[in-house]
Amino acid sequence: MNSINTYVRTLDIINRYNFTIRKKYGQNFLTDQNILDRIIDAAQLTKEDAVLEIGPGIGTLTGELAGRAGKVAAVEIDTELIPILKETLDGVENVDIINKDILKLDLRSYIADNFGDRPVKVVANLPYYITTPIIMKLMEGGYPFKSITVMVQKEVAERMCAGPGSKEYGALSLAVRYYSNPVIITQVPPECFIPRPKVSSAVIRLDILKDRGVKVRDEELLLKLIRASFNQRRKTLVNAIANFNGLSFGKEEIREAIEKTGLRADIRGEALTLEEFAALADRLSAGCQNIKGDTVPSEEENGMEKKLSELVKKLYKKEVSEATNAELYHALLSLTKELSREKKVIDGDRKVYYISAEFLIGKLLSNNLINLGVYDELEEILNKNGKSIAMIEEEEPEPSLGNGGLGRLAACFLDSIATLGLPGEGIGLNYHYGLFKQVFKDHLQTAEKNDWIEKDSWLNKTGVSFEVEFGGGVKVESVLYDIDVIGYDNGIIKLHLFDLKSLDEGLVRKGIDFDKEAVDKNLTLFLYPDDSDKAGNLLRIYQQYFMVSSGAQFIIKEMKEKGFDLYELDKHVIIQINDTHPTMVIPELIRILTQEEGFTMDDAVEVVGKTCAYTNHTILAEALEKWPLDYLEQVVPKLVPIIKELNNRIVKTNKDPKIRIIDEDKRVHMAHIDIHYGISVNGVAAIHTEILKNTELNAFYKLYPEKFNNKTNGITFRRWLLSCNRELTALLDEKIGTGYKKNADELEKLLQFKDDEEVLNRLAAIKMDNKKKLAEHVRAVEGVELDTDSIFDIQIKRMHEYKRQQMNALYIIHKYLQIKAGKKPKRPITFIFGAKAAPAYVIAKDIIHLLLVLEEIVNKDPEVSPYLKVLFVTNYNVSYAEKLIPACDISEQISLASKEASGTGNMKFMLNGAVTLGTDDGANVEIHELVGDENIYIFGADSDTVIKHYEKADYVSKELYKKSPVIKQAVDFIISEKALKTGHKENLERLYKELLNKDWFMTLLDLESYIEKKDEALNDYEDQQKWRRMMLVNIAKAGFFSSDRAIEEYNRDIWKLKKV
């Protein structure tokens, strides 16, 4: 390693790497060899020692430490410095470079795994703003440090060593003396640094005491008294302690304790020695334990606390403690946006554009604060003021930009793209009312507009706009809004949402009815407008073209602004088409290149064909969009000649009618465009991809085997663990470290505790706490009481016949009738549902009706209600899911085998310790493989059996109904006198006839197997140790289902992006 401890060499490295000094990290690089020598000497290092260096910068001190110590761990928060460190430390084998915030690093695990029995010493160059939190973490953590040698601002070093009566004396002075013997080694003038700081620094060594600096009965109380005394240092000790949020002693009680300690009643905290504080703590401790909360001694004003306080005062002229939750939400929204602006926008020469009709992003406050790394700090600040982030987040409107798994997956993927540092952006539409707000009236679903956009929101208007032209000379203007997607411990990417400039919200009449033909005013009102008539179908096409035309123009604009050659579009752009809704981006790009950029058709088709990739999310025929050609001629006449040309090119080379884009009925198959004119076709679970290859898309697979690949879906652990289950997160942090937050495979470390009774009991306690939280929320929102000692059996997902909520309803009927006959379950069962049915999907709405009817019948029956409860939650959304999933015992994943592409709810439940009851379908297959037969409940016909039934057309539900008394009894109850008395005859009879005469998704085929396996799961729950082990195994094996893993695979095999 070359010496870099000179001004010239340091400056050369900074300039060569084009490194920008960042004030937020307090960066000042030491250039003086004499000071380096003093630091090394002060640390008293030997080859037996291990060194933890905090803030190595460019490695000036690191190399010196490596020469003296046996092993060095250099922890650097600034990612931009890592390449420099790797260069300056090239060839130095005993240094481990860690790109991490020291406050977030699991020191205990790291030291145990890497330092072994070596004596550990800390050496650091600490910026002013973070000195106290780091020093307190190092001293309070109980780590095996021998000494801490740090360079800090001179005034901070003086405060550490100050005694009573001086202005420097404070909480930091006392805390340091409680844990160590401080010695100032030398002063360091500003000219020893690049850049020069405004004040002098000092090197101080803290020799850690084997025993504390003073004996005290209650260490927590002592530290709180110290904090209280200097929180308002000009007040008397009596008033300071009485006013402190973390303590609740009365003034007389405090005064008496002070006087009995031998001190004056009017004394201030700055006059007490450490020994006198200890004596006072013992005196108060002997009286009672009046301690609230949990605080860390610190004299320096918390920077985040100051920011929040000043912001609330500026906005509302109030203290934080006086502000309403709504006011604090808007203050935190503003603060989060400010903090995100300090983050680097991830960009690169090649970028993925993820185009999707849906982005079900959920509420963003907690997730953004977690990803920014400030959640815990702000929660502590708010707690001191009687507030909490959870309470405040209740004020946040949930963005209504998606409906089901498709949109939620897109949101998880954007989170992972940002977290992994990949250049990428999302492209979608800014729906003002989303799908709809669900309300139940008379046991029926009704729809109202979901008005979620506020003046002050996460949306940022950009000023970018594009003209979009439809048939008939109709021209509209799109305007672009962005939402920042903040990566976990990384930079940000953008979710681009296009809105209609001429939108007229006044078009919406009663419920969600509006004029579908007024396309110049309605395009971004609703997601998936009712398409049960021609006007609805046309509107869907208008909406999709509006999205892809705006997106395509945006992509071309970015290409030009970066100076890239459009003939090399595929080298700089990869477009991931999320399901078939964005398919028209392919002919639209070809149109732009040929009609506006001078490309030949051959050149345009070639470059666009190498730019797009397609994700298939379904094998349901009705979900693979096919638009009548005359509809496209009406809406997008400029695209029709291009689509015909694309089709002609296929017909010329292949006579198989199954692979044509335009079929004999003059329908345009959108998925066929994606497959023919894209580089990749991926399924979203192993079994789903095999079904595509072997059956549904077999003709295409034979033609393009190299295009087909699997990318099993995943979920972001930031939202579905760190945010929604903080107690479980804390347990995992404690037991296996924090590495799983970036590398989910590390969850498998939890398996070592599979037979650890203490860990299993804590998992059960966490589950119970989450059930109680859910019960409180349900009580407040639904007015329903839940028995938290009951088994929570939960099915939450889009309402659809193939997902078979109707089968769950038949089980409830079966159980209800058993109880009425005297056969009671060992433990009460609570069945919870959450789902929306598309407004035009009649049978789906009938299933909701049946479940609401059962809810009333079961819950009001005094014989049954002690043992069964049914709850259909209102307006199920992401926020509700974040409460339901951590509380679940049994996760219902009961789709007909071969019909669920993947599912992601199954992964979320698994991660939070629920046990899956399901078919071998979608990602259930991979869950089954990971956890083993003994940790999942699988039932029903397999995919091959189901597919054969469809091929042979030999499934007759009525035959099963006639043969099985169990099936007949359950199905007949739907039109029983009891059910019809509560529900509507039209809805119940229609559903009854559907099950008997059609049952397209084979509910009755699997019903008896379902009942048997579900009863087995309910019985197993009584063996709590067995059940808790199952919970643990499911959590430990969930790492595979991280969306980070999925995105890594997309990038490896399809996108080929360079991480930033």
The whole-number pLDDT of residue 940 equals: 98
- What confidence score (pLDDT) does residue 292 get? 41
Beta bridge partners, 937, equal: 917
Model pLDDT for residues 628-647, shown as the tens digit of each residue = 999 999 999 999 999 999 99
- The pLDDT tens digits of the residues spanning 515-527 come to 999 999 999 999 9
Q: What pLDDT does residue 5 have?
A: 66
Among residues 625, 634, 466, which one has the least CA distance to residue 550? 466
Of 38-47, 128-137, 255-264, 313-322, least confident by mean pLDDT is: 128-137
Q: Rounded mean pLDDT of 997-1007?
A: 98
Q: Which residue has the higher pLDDT, 494 or 222?
A: 494
pLDDT per residue as tens digits for the range 327-337: 999 999 999 99
Q: What is the mean pLDDT of residues 867-895?
A: 98
For residue 293, the model assigns a pLDDT of 39
Is 1 a residue whose pLDDT tops 80?
no
**pLDDT tens readout for residues 717-747:** 999 999 999 999 999 999 999 999 999 999 9
Find the mean pLDDT for residues 782-786: 95
SS3 content of the chain, % helix, strand, coil (to 5): 50, 15, 35
The answer to whether the beta carbons of residues 216 and 278 sit under 8 Å apart is yes
Structure tokens belonging to residue 202: 């000092």
Q: Which residues contact 203 (CB under 8 A, 6 or more apart)?
A: 35, 38, 39, 42, 149, 150, 151, 157, 184, 185, 186, 188
Percent of the chain with pLDDT over 90: 76
3-state secondary structure of 147: strand
- Give the contacts of 536 (CB within 8 A, at least 6 positions apart): 516, 529, 530, 840
- Rounded to 5 degrees, what are φ and ψ at 941? -65, 145
Spatial neighbors of 790 by CB under 8 A, at least 6 apart, are 827, 828, 829, 830, 869
**302 vs 1047, which has greater pLDDT?**
1047
How far apart, in whole angstroms, are the C-alpha atoms of residue 188 and residue 642?
72
Q: What is the pLDDT of residues 380-393, one digit of tens each?
A: 999 988 889 999 99
Q: Can you state the angle between helices 274-287 and 171-179, rounded to 10 degrees?
A: 90
Three-state secondary structure readout of 242-286:
HHCCCECCCHHHHHHHHHHCCCCCCCCHHHCCHHHHHHHHHHHHH
> Residues 885-943: pLDDT tens digits?
999 999 999 999 999 999 999 999 999 999 999 999 999 999 999 999 999 999 999 99
Give the Cα separation of 710 and 581 in Å (integer): 20
CA distance 604 to 612: 13
Closest CA to 368 of 719, 884, 878: 719
Residue with more model confidence, 169 or 710: 710
d(CA 1017, CA 564): 59
Residue range 583-605, pLDDT digits in tens: 999 999 999 999 999 999 999 99
**How does pLDDT run across 527-549, given as a tens digit for each residue?**
999 888 999 999 999 999 999 99
- Between vectors from CA 332 to CA 327 and to CA 337, what angle results, nearest 5°? 130
Question: pLDDT for 126-184, tens place per residue?
Answer: 887 678 889 988 988 888 999 999 999 988 888 888 888 777 888 889 989 999 999 99
Give pLDDT tens digits for 810-865: 999 999 999 999 999 999 999 999 999 999 999 999 999 999 999 999 999 999 99
> What is the rounded distance in angstroms from the CA atom of residue 46 to the CA atom of residue 65?
10
Q: With 0-12 CB in 10 A as exposed, 13-18 as middle and 19+ as buried, what is 822?
A: exposed
What tokens appear for 650 in the block?
Answer: 């296929």
Which residues does 762 contact at the CB level (< 8 Å), separation at least 6? 731
Q: For residues 199 and 189, what is the distance between their CA atoms, to the nearest angstrom?
A: 8
Note whether 411 and 485 are within 8 A (CB): no
Rounded to whole angstroms, the Cα distance separating 873 from 783 reads: 11
Q: Hey, which residues does 188 pair with through a beta bridge?
A: 201
Q: How far apart are CA 94 and CA 705, in angstroms?
A: 48
404 has a pLDDT exceeding 90? no
Burial status of residue 282 (CB atoms within 10 A of its CB: 0-12, 13-18, 19 or more): middle
> Which residues belong to the active site?
617, 797-798, 803, 904, 908
Q: What pLDDT score does 232 carry?
A: 66
User: 262-295 pLDDT, tens per residue?
Assistant: 888 888 888 889 999 998 988 888 764 444 433 4
What's the mean pLDDT in 948-955? 96
Contact 795, 892 (CB under 8 A): yes
Quickly tell me which residue has 């021998």 as its tokens.
Answer: 146
Mean pLDDT within 1016-1036: 98
Indicate whether 960 pLDDT > 80: yes
Q: Tell me phi and psi for residue 250, to 5 degrees.
A: -80, 155
8 A C-beta contact, residue 770 and residue 725? yes
As a whole number of angstroms, the distance between CA 305 and CA 823 comes to 59
Angstrom distance (rounded) from CA 591 to CA 18: 41
User: Which band of pLDDT confidence, cut at 50, 70 and 90, is reported for residue 199?
Assistant: confident
Average pLDDT of the chain, as a whole number:
93
The angle at the Cα of 381, spanning 377 to 387, to the nearest 5 degrees, equals 120
- Tell me: cis bond preceding 839? Omega within 30 of 0 counts: no
What pLDDT is stored for residue 33 in this prediction?
87
Half-sphere exposure of 76 (CA within 13 A, CB side): 22
pLDDT digit string (tens) for 353-364?
A: 999 999 999 999
The per-residue pLDDT for 299 is: 38
User: Per residue in 410-431, pLDDT tens?
Assistant: 999 999 999 999 999 999 999 9
Predicted pLDDT of residue 294: 39
Q: What is the per-residue DSSP string for 391-451?
A: HHHTTSPPP----SHHHHHHHHHHHHHHHTT--EEEEEE--SS-S-EEEEETTEEEEE---
Question: Where do the domains of the chain lie, and which CATH numbers do they carry?
Answer: 7-208 (3.40.50.150), 219-287 (1.10.8.100), 305-342+365-397 (no CATH), 351-363+398-710 (3.40.50.2000), 718-947+999-1047 (3.40.50.2000)
Distance CA 439, CA 872 (A): 11
State the average pLDDT over residues 9-37: 83
Q: Does 244 have pLDDT greater than 80?
A: no
Residue 1031 CB burial class (10 angstroms; 0-12, 13-18, ≥19) = buried
H/E element holding 122? Answer: strand 120-125
Q: In this prediction, what percent of the chain has a pLDDT beyond 70? A: 97
As a three-state string, the secondary structure of 568-579 is HHHHHEEEEEEC
3-state DSSP assignment of residue 193: strand
Going by C-alpha positions, the residue among 941, 945, 885, 901 that lies closest to residue 918 is: 941
Give pLDDT, residue 233: 66
Average pLDDT over residues 569-583: 98
Q: What is the amino acid identity at position 470? A: F
Q: Which amino acid is at 616?
A: N
SS3 assignment, position 270: helix
pLDDT of residue 768 exceeding 70, the answer is: yes
